[in-house]
Amino acid sequence: MRKHFFSGIQPSGRLHIGNYLGAIKQWIALQDEYEPIFGIVDYHAMTVRYDPAEMRGRVLDAAASYLAAGLEPEKSILMVQSDVPEHTELAWILNCITPMGRLSRIPTFKDKVRQNPDNVNMGLFDYPVLMAADILLYKSEIVPVGEDQVPHLEFTRDVAERFNSAFGEVFAEPAEVLSPGARILGLDGVNKMSKSLDNCLYLDDSDDEISRKLSTAVTDPARKRRTDPGDPTICNIMNLHDVFSTSEEREQCADGCRNATIGCLDCKKILIGHVVETIRPIRERKTDLLARPDDILDILREGAARARPIAQATMAEVRRAVGVTR
Ligand code: AQP
């Protein structure tokens, strides 16, 4: 029997190439070896202000993106977090063994407080506990994630250890699996590519949008003219070449930048070709899928029905361990 692991994405906006390269691409590659559970974690997305009328559409959009990127519902389980109430049940139990001081040191919480100063709610603070519950519920031993999630995985291991030593061995301590695209910067060249910062190349951008966004994206700011030599090590376009282009193209662009024999625009044109080739088939499949929302809803319903017995079996063990069965 293939082992499970859980990995999820918040339906907090359209998915972008950071989500794809940091997480989704790796998940797809693991679906022969494991039976992964891919969650659309809608309860996590409630930690920032949102319009309830948009949530259904966002969930469908995320599901279509996963499927278009190569998730196969015969091999993997695609589900929505709120369809499996054991996630929030386990989160409550984990809350009761989590020191508040430990949570307040997690850097992503501080970042979110900076971004949402007028909405610092308990859900935002507790986000890592719900994420730990998502992962532990399926006894995940690995979790493919982007670099920004490493502190959450460290926290998940902590909680698993705390639980096991208080109540007896129930959970595995999961390890993060990072890809070469584990930290994709946004088009501003400074911040992480992020839905909420809208500095993204989205998985459904048109060829023209990709070309326009990359043509105006930040490069080495000290390189003002075509004839100035540049520093490819601080250029975000070069970072993207690292994940999209061949080694010959990377060398051609890096050497050409250092000795000013290639301009930023020519270097960008090579990248644009690769990004368009990657995004175009995903966008086209996604458009086809979104034209059949009932088929997507069927896949999500079936995913929840397959995930629930696994979650219930773990919860039965957890309930016995913490002494709430009679
Ligand atoms: N820029 C990124 N580079 C590499 N990996 C990334 N991931 C997100 N951004 C990048 C990975 O995608 C998975 C799902 O992330 P998420 O959507 O659940 O949450 P997030 O990391 O908070 O993503 P965003 O886009 O930044 O969302 P908002 O703006 O709503 O907070 C994770 O594995 C993540 O590492």
Cα–Cα distance measured from residue 308 to residue 219, given in angstroms and rounded to the nearest whole number: 47
* Residue reference for tokens 């998730």: 71
Does ligand 1 lie within 6 Å of residue 145's CB atom?
A: yes
Tell me the β-bridge partners of 78.
38
Amino acid occupying residue 87: H
Distance of CA 192 from the midpoint of ligand 1 (Å):
8
Amino acid occupying residue 322: V
Does ligand 1 lie within 6 Å of residue 65's CB atom?
A: no
Give residue 198's pLDDT band: very low, low, confident or very high (50, 70, 90): confident
- Mean pLDDT rounded to a whole number for the chain: 95
Range from 216-220, 248-252, 282-286 carrying the lowest mean pLDDT: 216-220
Q: Residue 168: is its pLDDT beyond 90?
A: yes
User: What are the residue boundaries of the structural domains of the chain, listed by start?
Assistant: 4-184+293-322, 207-286
Mean pLDDT of 99-111: 92
Establish whether 192 is a catalytic residue: yes
Distance of CA 314 from the midpoint of ligand 1 (Å):
27
Distance of CA 1 from the midpoint of ligand 1 (Å):
30
Amino acid occupying residue 249: E
| Contact criterion met (CB below 8 Å) for 123 and 50 | no
Range from 67-81, 179-193, 264-278 carrying the lowest mean pLDDT: 179-193
pLDDT digits (tens, 9 = 90+) for 40-79: 999 999 999 999 999 999 999 999 999 999 999 999 999 9
Report which DSSP code applies to 283: H
Establish whether 286 is a catalytic residue: no
Mean pLDDT of 12-25: 92
Note the pLDDT of residue 111: 86
Q: Which residues contact 214 (CB under 8 A, 6 or more apart)?
A: 187, 201, 237, 268, 271, 272, 275
Q: CATH assignment of 4-184+293-322, given 3.40.50.620, 3.30.1360.200, 3.30.43.10, 3.40.50.720?
A: 3.40.50.620
Distance of CA 162 from the midpoint of ligand 1 (Å):
27
Does ligand 1 lie within 6 Å of residue 19's CB atom?
A: yes
| Contact criterion met (CB below 8 Å) for 18 and 243 | no
Ligand 1 atom nearest the C-alpha of 16 is: 25
Q: Indicate the burial class of 150 (C-beta count within 10 angstroms; 0-12, 13-18, 19 or more).
A: middle
Q: Which of 143, 194, 203 to mutate to test the pocket of ligand 1 (most atoms within 8 A of CB)?
A: 194
Does ligand 1 lie within 6 Å of residue 198's CB atom?
A: no
Query: For the domain 207-286, what is the CATH code?
Result: 1.10.240.10
| Contact criterion met (CB below 8 Å) for 95 and 127 | no
What is the SS3 assignment for 245-269?
Answer: CCHHHHHHHHHHHHCCCCCHHHHHH
Catalytic hit among 25, 75, 110, 195: 195
| Contact criterion met (CB below 8 Å) for 304 and 79 | yes
Cα–Cα distance measured from residue 289 to residue 47, given in angstroms and rounded to the nearest whole number: 28
Note the pLDDT of residue 222: 83
Q: Indicate the burial class of 27 (C-beta count within 10 angstroms; 0-12, 13-18, 19 or more).
A: buried
Write the residue with the smallest CA distance to atom 33 of ligand 1.
Answer: 145
Establish whether 112 is a catalytic residue: yes
Is the pTM here over 0.85, yes or no? yes
